[in-house]
Structure 1
């Protein structure tokens, strides 16, 4: 058991939406990752959002590159992965975060904020916080060694390189996407948003199920959203969307065999 699809909200409908967006994010991530798909990059400066636009400078002061991929699935709900590496270091220390939302700006913010959390796991090259090369205040102090002791994560940070992990880089055959290219598909009523999401799921032959978990002594709406058939990012390789969606979207001519799926572990 895990917390996949669990969320709280100001209203029941809001909780349902947030739980569902987590399912969308992880489903899109799994389809991209395990199929090793080459996906288009996203221009962080194109969303008219100062936080997103500042990411390149911030990560540069951490001696890192940062970029974003559009891994949106057949559901059509914007799903992004933000990634970062140390380009000139012996180990690239590749990290990533993901986000999904009907509003593409919010999807991008979620992915970048999750990436920022991962950044705290790793030591900052050359010392602890302080000023960057420009003399401006630098990122906060970080530990001298990784905060995560998981063997898979440590091995990933030591060995993974973009040159050997081509699915992590923006597709060289696609122009970077701009914020203006995405339609905001949110409605004016949260219930309508939920109905839209349910329609997308049911149009693909799946069920949209909601278990209410609100505690009566607290009263804040809490739910678990379950869509049998949508994928987690863990290595779960039963037949279905993991193999079929890349073909349906025209990203592969035929489904991969399980033995041909990307063997790289997901660090989360």
Structure 2
């Protein structure tokens, strides 16, 4: 469904319930010791304390819409209320983080997460228990779409945690083979080089080491297959589970939709554009660039005008690979010539314009949340040893690293690719069709032609409230694709596509592996 979007001014046409003066002042008065705040002020303070104690943002900056009859669709209201009744959220509404005055205006929506306890989970990274609420957001230039994205991403992240309620099997490869199970071989998933295995004993595999497994299925066909839990759940704690590392356990490839096919397609799109980005990045190859002025699309043109108005530069890079699905990353460049900082977003779709718009929306949201988080910078340690555990750059570190103006000169090579008119690039894409069913069929056939390691697998989360909402959440796995990593020591340096794909596309690696941490958050 197309949505007409206003990119000019950010003035919601709804009354805002905002924690601001005078109520914010009342809160401060009531918080202060020895003050004589009046009854009304204290009551206001209690109300705001109750509401905003749930939020993970500054209580003085959030706002929400009190009259949900206007701001939410019937389906959105139903989903929020049911999530609340199921104790999956603490408050049945959506909070909006306001934009800064000097950035393009978007709606940035979040839900009110429950507080987690480590005892709820089989194996979970302890830090995630405290920070879960920071890992979901819905961003769009239309409030309804931002709300839908926030609800969908929250549900996706919530159900794909390693809850104890999932049916886990603990067994070694040898045990599973002896009992006749069909399972995805860990060595197919693992993409660590021999040097990495020498440095880190936890990367080494053998058939007698136990793993935790969950039941997944192949797509299409739905044949049952056991998948390693660490390839399915995000925040999975391999060390606590005392099993070898196969790679990083993150949300890449996870998606939620109202149909299983839609969720699988969304997961595949994410895997594909990240695979493409990493192939170019780790080989130090500058991707082809799209001349933004040649894109004949009203929505993209409006976004680009907004960026120009706020004096941002934008680069649109084509990271489409042998898979053939149009894939892009966008670089948002903020600042003057001497103080530039860079942020990155990505997208893939059989409709190239949609992929570019998705990448633009993502990079703007990343920029916004970087600023909201305090606009921090991160410097590489000296000396810096690439891909080492001791110097490993983490999730938030990499955003802060490339937000440092000192790093921008080290990114210029990535922006030196040949510039093309969008129409000329579009002619070469293997698929350009606004039909999700056709796109999914195309990908199934493409992966089948590339070999067995490109088989598509998925795990579908099973929660009672998902059935009631008729919402499908899956984690999609394609073993051959280069997986996104957010910690440098977990880089998949032995992934065969890192060598094969540049040759197929006619590129030559300038330096492999690129020693710099990638900027993808």
TM-score, length-scaled by structure 1 = 0.79
Q: Is the 8 A contact 1:243 1:256 kept in 2?
A: no
Matched with 2:516 is 264
* Matched residue count: 242
Q: Is the 8 A contact 1:38 1:166 kept in 2?
A: no
Matched with 1:133 is none
The whole-number CA distance in structure 2 between the counterparts of 1:111 and 1:144 is 21
The whole-number CA distance in structure 2 between the counterparts of 1:189 and 1:41 is 26
Matched with 1:231 is 482
The whole-number CA distance in structure 1 between the counterparts of 2:373 and 2:398 is 19
The whole-number CA distance in structure 2 between the counterparts of 1:144 and 1:231 is 30
The whole-number CA distance in structure 2 between the counterparts of 1:116 and 1:156 is 15
CA shift in 2, pair 1:180/1:4, >3 Å: closer
What SS is found at the alignment partner of 1:97?
strand
Q: Is the 8 A contact 1:64 1:86 kept in 2?
A: yes
Q: Is the 8 A contact 2:273 2:347 kept in 1?
A: yes
Tell me which moved more, 232-241 or 107-116.
232-241
Tell me which moved more, 204-213 or 73-82.
204-213
Matched with 1:251 is 507
Unaligned runs of 5+ residues in structure 1 are: 124-142
CA shift in 2, pair 1:148/1:202, >3 Å: farther
What SS is found at the alignment partner of 1:160?
helix
What SS is found at the alignment partner of 1:63?
coil
Matched with 1:84 is 332
The whole-number CA distance in structure 2 between the counterparts of 1:239 and 1:15 is 26
CA shift in 2, pair 1:65/1:99, >3 Å: same
Higher-RCO chain (CA-CA 8 Å, sequence separation at least 6): 1
- Please list, as runs of the form range in 1=range in 2, the aligned pairs for 1:133-212 lying within 5 A after superposition: 145-146=374-375, 150-158=396-404, 159-161=406-408, 163-171=409-417, 173-178=418-423, 181=427, 184-186=431-433, 188=435, 190=437, 192-205=438-451, 206-212=454-460
CA shift in 2, pair 1:225/1:145, >3 Å: closer
Matched with 1:30 is 278
Matched with 2:90 is none
Whether 1:64 aligns to 2:312 is: yes
CA shift in 2, pair 1:55/1:78, >3 Å: same
TM-score, length-scaled by structure 2 = 0.43
Q: Is the 8 A contact 2:377 2:403 kept in 1?
A: no
The whole-number CA distance in structure 1 between the counterparts of 2:439 and 2:288 is 27
Unaligned runs of 5+ residues in structure 2 are: 1-248, 379-395, 486-490
The whole-number CA distance in structure 2 between the counterparts of 1:144 and 1:227 is 34
Q: Computing the radius of gyration over CA atoms, which structure comes out larger, 1 or 2?
A: 2
CA shift in 2, pair 1:117/1:182, >3 Å: farther
CA shift in 2, pair 1:60/1:223, >3 Å: same
